[in-house]
């Protein structure tokens, strides 16, 4: 595990523990950056970003799309995974190998071995967008971790406990940072504070978040 971690994060940027079973890997995605951005363009060309609607009828400020064997969607009937993009009627684009490799390496560096994601949710944040505190509970097996990759503008990651009212800690996420949580932290509440204005040299005035899961 240590050799794998050393391959994706330099020694001066160690694994940062944010809770029991939850870690930040600073800059861990930078070695994959070019291939991941190329893969992102291919995915969004087939399944563009869209603002989904919650079961309560609210339009989400974060734009979303998916790739892999299943995509996470929300509409008036609820939250769920589906193999088909509801806008195109076609299967979601396949997951690029660069995504799969980054997710497996990051999970292994955090101590979660043999991670093989079949779903990847892509969120696009523009200034003013936010994601309220929530739990990821639509997956089949809560023993498997979540891997979350930050690209573009910096953001404030909020990480709480197993109850919504538990104290929330805040962490600054920069381009290339990866958060991984599982085990006792797998069902912790988490979210992203309102994104501030800015400009990133690779992605312009937005933030992209790639969230990998074993959903099926």
Q: Is 75 annotated as a binding residue?
A: no
Separation CA 104–CA 139 (nearest Å): 18
* b/e 15-32 (16+ beta carbons within 10 angstroms → b): eeebbebbbbbbbbbbbb
What order of strands is seen across the sheet that includes strand 119-125?
A: 15-19, 22-25, 178-181, 146-152, 207-213, 119-125, 63-68
Longest pairwise C-alpha distance within the chain? 47
Q: Is 41 annotated as a binding residue?
A: no
- Looking up tokens 């690779």 gives 202
In this structure, the strands spanning 155-159 and 190-192 are: antiparallel
* CB atoms near residue 133 (< 10 Å): 15
Report how far apart the first and last C-alpha atoms of the chain are (Å, whole number).
26
Annotated binding site for Fe cation: 134, 136, 190
Annotated binding site: 134, 136, 190
């Amino acid at each position: 595990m240590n050799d794998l971690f050393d391959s994706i994060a330099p020694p001066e940027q160690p694994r940062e523990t944010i809770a029991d079973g939850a870690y930040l890997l600073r800059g861990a995605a930078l070695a994959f950056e070019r291939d991941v951005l190329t893969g992102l363009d291919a995915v969004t060309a087939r399944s563009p970003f869209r603002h989904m609607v919650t079961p309560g009828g609210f339009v989400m400020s974060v734009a979303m799309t998916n790739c892999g064997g299943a995509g996470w969607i929300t509409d008036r009937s609820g939250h769920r995974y589906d193999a088909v993009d509801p806008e195109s009627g076609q299967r979601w684009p396949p997951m690029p190998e660069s995504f799969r490799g980054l997710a497996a390496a990051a999970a292994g560096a955090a101590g979660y071995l043999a991670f093989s994601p079949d779903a990847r949710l892509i969120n696009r944040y523009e200034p003013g967008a936010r994601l309220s505190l929530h739990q990821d509970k639509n997956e089949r097996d809560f023993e498997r971790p979540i891997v979350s990759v930050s690209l573009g503008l910096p953001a404030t990651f909020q990480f709480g406990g197993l109850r919504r009212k538990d104290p929330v800690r805040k962490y600054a996420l920069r381009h290339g940072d990866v958060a991984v949580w599982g085990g006792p932290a797998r069902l912790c509440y988490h979210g992203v504070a309102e994104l501030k204005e800015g400009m990133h040299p690779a992605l312009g005035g937005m933030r992209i978040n790639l969230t990998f899961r074993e959903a099926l």
